[in-house]
Amino acid sequence: MVHKSQQAIDFYSSHPISLDLVLTRLLRERRDLTGLQPSDLWPHDQDHYGGLSANDALAQCAMLRPGSRVADFCAGLGGPARYYAHVYGAEVTAIELTPARAAGAKRLNDLVGLADRVRVVQGDVVSTELPDGEMDAVVSQEAFLHLPDKASVLREARRILRPGGRLAFTDLFRHAPLAATDADLLWEGMAIQPVETLDGYRALLAAAGFTIVRLEDLTEDLRPVLRQRFAMYQVMRGEAEVAGTPTGSEAFHRSYARYAELFEARQLGGLRATALKP
């Protein structure tokens, strides 16, 4: 049996949105990679639903300001982290478990001159090794669905936040129980762990010692976004095949198609949580 963390690493190591695909797209648009600005990456490096507007919503929930010290949990290729640094003036520590993605985030930071504002740490968000109370905010975009122990991650977020610091994240949740066949398919193809309910997240946040500011159901807003993203993925999969970059496994393709159907049927949904460390 594949270790739970290794399943997520394997999934993202072969994900169609990769450093190589981002670079291939950039080189198709321009003669070389010199002089890149952070905004040049935005059409390519925002691997989450809602794009830049979702970043802005999360930044507002986290109350990001110039100089805010932010930990981005499960930061991927670092698209949101770079956005928070460039647009909001935050000092970001981007923590990413998958080695290829952490290396990709560092490379993209260097290309757009943000290496001094976005520090990338290849590591596990269950144990970040960051000092107690160092951060003003902890943020994450659609990543906790891959975490086998959400309770420990929330406790770690609380530990590294200063008193009054904020946790703001988006994630998947379920409106109704999933059939075992669907749960198995989502695990096999997308490394999705057992999915929480809204009430389950409410209980996890309270148990970790957070005061909940807001727990929002984004399902209706995200359903059309997911339709567009799945169509975009199908195009991107073809691009990756032509470019010779990772295309994602057949299990991912089947799983993503079923994921979209479950979202359309309102069995799955999206949430945005904002919580405060007292």
CB 138 within 8 A of CB 167: yes
| Whole-prediction pTM | 0.93
Sequence-distant (≥ 6) Cβ neighbours of residue 163 within 8 angstroms: 133, 277, 278
Alpha carbon 258 to its chain centroid, in Å, reads 20
The count of domains in the chain is 1
- Of residues 123 and 1, the one with the higher pLDDT is 123
For the cut 60, the answer to whether the pLDDT of residue 2 exceeds it is no
- Indicate the average pLDDT of the chain: 93
- pLDDT reported for residue 117: 98
Amino acid letter, 106: K
Task: In whole angstroms, give the CA distance from residue 157 to residue 160.
Answer: 6
In the three-class reduction of DSSP (H, G, I as helix; E, B as strand; rest coil), residue 127 is classed as coil
Amino acid letter, 204: L
Domain that holds residue 234: 4-276
Structure confidence at residue 75 as a pLDDT band (50, 70, 90): very high
For the cut 60, the answer to whether the pLDDT of residue 1 exceeds it is no
CATH number of the domain enclosing 69: 3.40.50.150
Give me the mean pLDDT over the 241-270 stretch: 88
Amino acid letter, 232: M
For the cut 50, the answer to whether the pLDDT of residue 177 exceeds it is yes
- pLDDT reported for residue 4: 66
Give me the mean pLDDT over the 258-274 stretch: 95
Alpha helices in the chain (DSSP H): 4-13, 19-29, 38-45, 51-62, 79-88, 99-111, 150-160, 180-190, 198-207, 219-243, 250-264
